[in-house]
């Protein structure tokens, strides 16, 4: 008890800077090692943002990320129990050493076309993946790739597969999620042969039961088994408002990808203030910065500019 009280006292002293800066999230003392850097902000990074640069020196790279002010990670590149060529347990250890917590991981089954005959094979993939990820203690396993969805029927089949992946994840103590790009905001019709995007969907000859694919995913997946990681940039690219989706589905959208065309805040096409206001209203606990390949400079430089944007943003708590 004495030790705990002493610990809290020390944390309080270190947190003083945060109090003076008007930060109230002092319960988040686990980020003590990076506290002075990020003033208590819990900012995550999707490691895809660094591309090959991270794998040139993983321990050094992870330490740089931590020093920049990131405190959590979402993995990418899972295959056969490894992240690229690195054993997952080794990756976890290197993240621990850098003071970074792995919350989530992106992974896709090897097939894009789901049929009633390959459902078993897809389930086998998720069983192995869930087992591998449970061992390194992540919370979420997230599918970022859109399977084939050319008709209402294909959307329903995909939802069955997602629900099964969710059951497998849950049996391993994990949560299954789905991450969108832009084409999930295309629409499909019963018996359709293609996704219908943009203004074409409002043509005069479209049936009444035309549905946005993403809405079909939300409607037909079990809320107990499947959560959604909303990529706010791709939602905008899909001609939709991420805030509207967060307002409509507060119990389904549990994670965010905070992303812009390039470095956060530079394009002017993303209203991050409104996005963060709604995220706090929804009590979203985790989000991950994502950055595509930059035409100039290194990915590390870009990732640093992104975290600086969030650290300086008054609307990010
Ligand atoms: Mg994304």
Cα(205) to centroid(ligand 1), Å = 34
Burial (Cβ within 10 Å: 0-12, 13-18, ≥19) of residue 34: buried
Average model confidence (pLDDT) across the chain: 91
Cα(12) to centroid(ligand 1), Å = 36
What pLDDT is attached to residue 39?
64
Cα(176) to centroid(ligand 1), Å = 16
Q: Give the model confidence (pLDDT) of 94-139 as tens digits.
A: 999 999 999 999 999 999 999 999 999 999 999 999 999 999 999 9
Q: How far is CA 257 from CA 94, 137, 187, 231, 279, in A?
A: 23, 21, 23, 4, 11
Cα(259) to centroid(ligand 1), Å = 7
Cα(174) to centroid(ligand 1), Å = 20
Cα(240) to centroid(ligand 1), Å = 15
What pLDDT is attached to residue 204?
86
Q: Give the model confidence (pLDDT) of 140-149 as tens digits.
A: 999 999 999 9
Cα(40) to centroid(ligand 1), Å = 24
Cα(31) to centroid(ligand 1), Å = 24
Cα(49) to centroid(ligand 1), Å = 10
The arithmetic mean of pLDDT across residues 282-292, rounded, is 98
Cα(160) to centroid(ligand 1), Å = 23
What pLDDT is attached to residue 33?
43
Question: 139: alpha, beta or left, given left = phi > 0 and alpha = psi -120 to 50?
Answer: alpha
Q: Give the model confidence (pLDDT) of 76-104 as tens digits.
A: 999 999 999 999 999 999 999 999 999 99
Question: 118: alpha, beta or left, given left = phi > 0 and alpha = psi -120 to 50?
Answer: alpha
Cα(144) to centroid(ligand 1), Å = 7
Spatial separation of the C-alpha atoms in residues 243 and 293, rounded to whole Å: 26
What pLDDT is attached to residue 171?
98
Spatial separation of the C-alpha atoms in residues 123 and 81, rounded to whole Å: 16
Pairing of strands 211-212, 187-188: antiparallel
Cα(112) to centroid(ligand 1), Å = 18
Q: How confident is the model at residue 74 (pLDDT cuts 50, 70, 90)?
A: very high
Cα(123) to centroid(ligand 1), Å = 24
Q: Give the model confidence (pLDDT) of 191-238 as tens digits.
A: 999 999 999 999 888 999 999 999 999 999 999 999 999 999 999 999
Cα(179) to centroid(ligand 1), Å = 7
Q: Give the model confidence (pLDDT) of 63-72 as tens digits.
A: 999 999 999 9
What pLDDT is attached to residue 131?
98
């Amino acid at each position: 008890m004495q030790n705990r009280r002493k610990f809290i006292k020390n944390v309080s002293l270190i947190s003083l800077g945060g109090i003076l800066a008007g930060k109230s999230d002092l319960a988040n003392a686990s980020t003590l090692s990076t506290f002075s850097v990020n003033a208590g902000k819990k900012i995550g990074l999707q490691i895809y943002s660094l591309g090959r640069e991270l794998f040139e020196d993983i321990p050094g790279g992870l330490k740089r990320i931590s020093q920049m002010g990131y405190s959590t990670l979402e993995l990418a590149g899972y295959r056969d129990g490894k992240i690229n060529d690195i054993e997952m347990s080794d990756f976890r250890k290197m993240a621990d050493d850098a003071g970074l917590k792995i919350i989530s991981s992106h992974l896709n089954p090897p097939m894009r076309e789901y049929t009633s005959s390959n459902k078993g094979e897809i389930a086998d993939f998720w069983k192995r993946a869930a087992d591998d990820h449970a061992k390194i203690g992540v919370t979420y396993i997230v599918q970022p790739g859109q399977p084939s969805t050319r008709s209402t029927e294909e959307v329903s089949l995909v939802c069955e597969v997602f629900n099964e992946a969710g059951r497998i994840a849950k049996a391993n103590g994990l949560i299954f999620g789905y991450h969108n790009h832009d084409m999930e905001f295309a629409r499909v019709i019963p018996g359709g042969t293609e996704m219908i995007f943009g203004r074409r969907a409002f043509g005069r000859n479209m049936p009444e039961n035309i549905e946005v694919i993403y809405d079909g995913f939300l409607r037909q997946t079990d809320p107990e088994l499947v959560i959604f990681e909303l990529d706010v940039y791709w939602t905008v690219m899909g001609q939709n408002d991420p805030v509207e989706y967060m307002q409509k589905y507060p119990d389904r959208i549990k994670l965010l990808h905070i992303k812009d065309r390039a470095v956060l805040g530079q394009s002017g096409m993303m209203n991050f203030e409104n996005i963060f206001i709604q995220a706090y209203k929804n009590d979203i606990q985790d989000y991950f910065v994502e950055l595509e390949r930059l035409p100039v400079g290194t990915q590390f430089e870009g990732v640093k500019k992104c975290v600086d944007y969030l650290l300086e943003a008054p609307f990010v708590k």
